[in-house]
């Protein structure tokens, strides 16, 4: 097995998962951070968006999990539910063959369902701060066995408006737990917290080499405020991006741009904080699945979304927070991909652009004008792209891949209301010819149904030979879960 993650002496099942995920060679941040967290060192990590930060803390956290211990052993705090779900997905993919269970808990989600899930052998929890504090206060989560704790987007989470919440959470952790702070931008605000709650933290600042710096080409173009929308369309036609995120500063402006683009027949979606949680998750899922290729967004997705191959980011408004500029443009040019970011600058925004250039210590190149011929030619090409999306003619590279081909997820039509427990499912599957306890992965028992991961390529033959099985003397229907 030619996988350079093996040098970290990881569990063989983690290496198998990393191979399935096509993680063959550690990124710069992973090379620096993984061994430090495995050694239980506290770390403060600054590394650009899209550099592989999530895996750099997820891999050692999964490695340290004792799956025979049913308590919560890892806790990650994230600022948004979208980012929490994204981290959960990464951890599930890395820990699936090892049988590590991960839950995401956040606000505007039924508390009762979360309490029930936390009772079901959860090893790692990813949470937004308000909801984890709620569970701590109710006594519905036990943090006494936490081995690893991570704050993602630490610059935001340790800002003045959140610092009391973070101090409360940190005060509830075991003193010897390993702690990590991660962000693309880290300032002096975190020093007080780090000195109080971390033990001689190792500061890791992943500097961009010249190649990395050029992964995202940054430009700006000047415009009067009233001309910005027409200029936006010209940029889109000229660039003809396969996928695009447009950022605006206010929810009203986001809605205004979205409605104009919808009227102009673009395949476009919209997302901002006034939308319901379910709606936001639905929009992100459709964007990832290429149901539309333009997303108009507030800063809510600047930190909380990872979509493969975002080819262009347009700042319709210059962000007032210079750190948000870094996070916005980081949606493109991720890991080893190339990307472009264009910022539209009105006269009143020029001072904010200067602040951003001072902050990133680099000059952003100006686009003087956009050629009419390029716009007209691009309009024809872009129209064809839009038609392909409408006709659902997706590029095969954009189709969702089965990241763990050796795992089959099975649906059972019974759950807790029929008094079914995890142990009942394990017993039933262990009695099936050809399946041992080693072949049974993560099990989730819901109120009216259950889900079982069957490992080691044995799921297909199981489903071929069984339409029903017996669990606790009940005839239970089984089928492949494709959700």
pLDDT over 90 at 434, yes or no: no
What per-residue confidence (pLDDT) applies to 188? 66
What per-residue confidence (pLDDT) applies to 483? 63
Question: In this structure, which topology does domain 4-205 adopt according to CATH?
Answer: Rossmann fold (3.40.50)
Length of the chain: 483
Report residue 210's pLDDT band, with 50, 70 and 90 as the boundaries.
very low
Is the Cβ–Cβ distance between 16 and 405 less than 8 Å?
no
3-state DSSP of 320-342 = CCHHHHHHHHCCCCCCCCCEEEE
Query: Which neighbouring-strand residues pair with 470?
Result: 475
Query: To the nearest whole percent, how much of the chain has pLDDT over 70?
Result: 92
What per-residue confidence (pLDDT) applies to 440? 87
Once rounded to an integer, what is the mean pLDDT over residues 119-146?
92
Q: Which candidate, 9, 16, 13, 17, places its Cα nearest to that of 34?
A: 9
Encode 453-480: b = buried (16+ Cβ within 10 Å), e = exposed: bbbbebbeebeeebeebebeeeebebee
pLDDT over 50 at 212, yes or no: no
Whether 408-480 and 4-205 are alike in CATH topology: the answer is no
Once rounded to an integer, what is the mean pLDDT over residues 431-446?
84
Report residue 169's pLDDT band, with 50, 70 and 90 as the boundaries.
very high
Task: For 253-268, give the DSSP string.
Answer: HHHHHHHHHHHTT--E
What per-residue confidence (pLDDT) applies to 79? 86
Is the Cβ–Cβ distance between 65 and 100 less than 8 Å?
yes
Class of CATH domain 408-480: alpha beta
Q: What is the pLDDT of residues 253-293, one digit of tens each?
A: 999 999 999 998 898 999 987 787 678 878 888 888 888 98
18 conformational bin, left if phi > 0, alpha if psi -120 to 50, beta if neither: alpha
Query: What strands, in cross-sheet order, belong to the sheet with 43-46?
Result: 102-105, 124-127, 74-77, 148-152, 178-183, 43-46, 202-205
- Mean model confidence pLDDT for the chain: 85
pLDDT over 60 at 163, yes or no: yes
Q: What is the pLDDT of residues 7-45, one digit of tens each?
A: 999 999 999 899 888 888 898 889 999 999 999 999 998
User: Domain-by-domain residue ranges, the chain?
Assistant: 4-205, 210-398, 408-480
- Helices and strands in the chain, H and E counts: 18, 19
Q: Catalogue the E-assigned strands of 90-201.
A: 102-105, 124-127, 148-152, 178-183
What per-residue confidence (pLDDT) applies to 430? 84
Q: pTM for the complete prediction?
A: 0.72
Q: What is the pLDDT of residues 331-355, one digit of tens each?
A: 887 656 788 999 999 999 999 999 9
Q: Choose the CATH number for 210-398 among 2.60.40.10, 3.30.360.10, 3.40.50.300, 3.40.50.150.
A: 3.40.50.300
Q: What is the pLDDT of residues 41-88, one digit of tens each?
A: 999 988 877 778 899 999 999 999 999 898 999 999 998 888 888 899
């Amino acid at each position: 097995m030619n996988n350079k993650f093996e040098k970290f002496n990881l569990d063989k099942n983690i290496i198998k998962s990393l191979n399935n995920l096509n993680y063959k060679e550690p990124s710069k941040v992973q090379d620096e951070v993984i061994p430090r967290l495995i050694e239980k060192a506290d770390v403060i990590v600054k590394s650009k968006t899209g550099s592989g930060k999530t895996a750099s803390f997820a891999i050692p956290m999964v490695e340290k999990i004792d799956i025979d211990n049913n308590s919560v052993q890892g806790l990650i705090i994230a600022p948004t539910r979208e980012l929490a779900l994204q981290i959960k997905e990464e951890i599930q993919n890395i820990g699936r063959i090892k049988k590590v269970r991960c839950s995401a808990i956040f606000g505007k989600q039924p508390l009762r369902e979360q309490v029930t899930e936390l009772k079901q052998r959860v090893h790692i929890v990813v949470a937004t701060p308000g909801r984890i504090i709620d569970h701590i206060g109710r006594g519905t989560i036990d943090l006494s066995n936490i081995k690893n704790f991570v704050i993602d987007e630490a610059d935001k989470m340790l800002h003045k408006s959140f610092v009391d919440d973070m101090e409360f959470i940190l005060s509830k952790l075991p003193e010897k737990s390993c702690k990590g702070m991660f962000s693309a931008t880290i300032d002096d605000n975190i020093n007080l917290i780090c000195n109080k709650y971390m033990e001689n933290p190792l500061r890791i600042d992943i500097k961009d080499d010249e190649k990395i710096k050029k992964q995202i080409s940054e430009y700006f173009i000047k415009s009067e405020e009233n001309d910005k929308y027409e200029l936006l369309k010209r940029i889109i036609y000229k660039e003809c991006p396969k996928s695009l995120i447009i950022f605006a500063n206010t929810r009203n402006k986001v809605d205004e741009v979205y409605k104009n683009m919808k009227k102009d027949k673009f395949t476009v979606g919209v997302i901002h904080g006034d939308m319901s949680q379910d709606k936001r998750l639905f929009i992100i899922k459709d964007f990832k699945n290429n149901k539309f290729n333009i997303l108009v967004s507030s800063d809510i997705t600047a930190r909380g979304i990872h979509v493969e191959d975002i080819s262009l980011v347009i700042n319709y408004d210059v962000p007032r927070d210079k750190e948000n500029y870094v996070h916005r443009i980081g949606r493109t040019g991720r890991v080893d991909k190339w990307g472009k970011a264009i910022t539209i600058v009105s006269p009143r925004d020029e001072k904010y652009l200067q602040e951003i250039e001072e902050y990133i210590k680099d000059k952003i190149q100006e686009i003087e004008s956009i050629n009419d011929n390029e716009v007209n030619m691009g309009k024809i090409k872009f129209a064809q792209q839009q038609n392909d999306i409408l006709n659902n003619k997706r590029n095969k590279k954009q189709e969702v891949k089965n990241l763990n081909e050796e795992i089959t997820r099975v649906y059972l039509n019974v759950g807790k209301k029929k008094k079914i427990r995890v142990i009942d499912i394990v017993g039933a599957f262990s009695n099936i010819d050809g399946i041992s306890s080693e072949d049974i992965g993560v099990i989730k028992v819901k109120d009216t149904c259950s889900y079982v991961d069957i490992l080691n390529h044995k799921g297909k033959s199981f489903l071929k030979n069984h339409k029903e099985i017996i669990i606790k003397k009940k005839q239970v229907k089984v089928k492949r879960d494709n959700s």
